Amino acid sequence: MEIPKFKTLEIIQKSPNPSVFHILLNNPSLKNALSLDFFTEFPKALISLDQNPEVNVIILSGHGDHFCSGIDLNAFNTLMKSQSKDQGRVRERFRREIKGLQNAMTAIERCRKVVIAAIHGACIGGGIDLITACDIRYCTKNAFFCVKEVDLAITADLGTLQRLPGIVGYGNAVELALTARRFTGEEAKDFGLVSKVFESKSALDEGVYAVAEGIAMKSPLAVVGTKEVLLRSRDMSVDQGLDYAATWNSAMLPSADLTEAVSAQIQKRKPTFAKL
- Catalytic amino acids? 71, 126, 129, 149, 157
> Of all helices (H) and strands (E), which one includes residue 22?
strand 20-25
- Contact (Cβ atoms closer than 8 angstroms) between residue 241 and residue 230: no
- Dihedral of the CA atoms 100, 106, 107, 112 (nearest 10)? -160
Shortest reach from residue 125's CB to a copy of itself, in Å: 12
The C-alpha atoms of residue 243 and residue 116 are separated, in whole angstroms, by 28
28: nearest Cα among 122, 108, 128, 101:
122
**Residue 214 beta carbon to a copy of itself: minimum distance, rounded to whole angstroms:** 6
Name the helix (H) or strand (E) containing 25.
Answer: strand 20-25
Min CB(235)–a copy of itself separation in Å: 4
Please answer whether residues 159 and 189 qualify as being in contact, where contact means their C-beta atoms are separated by less than 8 angstroms. Answer: no
In three-state form (DSSP H/G/I as H, E/B as E, the rest C), the secondary structure along 228-274 is HHHHHHHCCCHHHHHHHHHHHHHHHCCCHHHHHHHHHHHCCCCCCCC
Tell me the DSSP string of 126-181. Answer: HHHHHHHHSSEEEEETT-EEE--GGGGT----SSHHHHHHHHH-HHHHHHHHHH--
Residue 237 or residue 267: which is nearer to a copy of itself going by CB? 237
Query: Taking the complex as a whole, how short is the minimal distance between the CB of residue 131 and a copy of itself, in angstroms?
Result: 10
> For a copy of itself, which is the closer residue by CB, 48 or 63?
48
Nearer to a copy of itself, 26 or 103 (CB): 103
Please state, in angstroms and rounded to a whole number, the distance separating the CA atoms of residues 225 and 96.
Answer: 31
Taking the least distance from each CB to a copy of itself, the nearer of 18 and 192 is 192
CB of residue 75 to a copy of itself, shortest distance in Å: 13
Smallest gap, in angstroms, from Cβ of residue 200 to a copy of itself?
21
| CB of 119 closer than 8 Å to CB of 61 | yes
Of the pair 63, 93, the CB lying nearest a copy of itself is at 93
Q: Nearest 5°: phi and psi at 151?
A: -75, -15
Nearer to a copy of itself, 11 or 173 (CB): 173
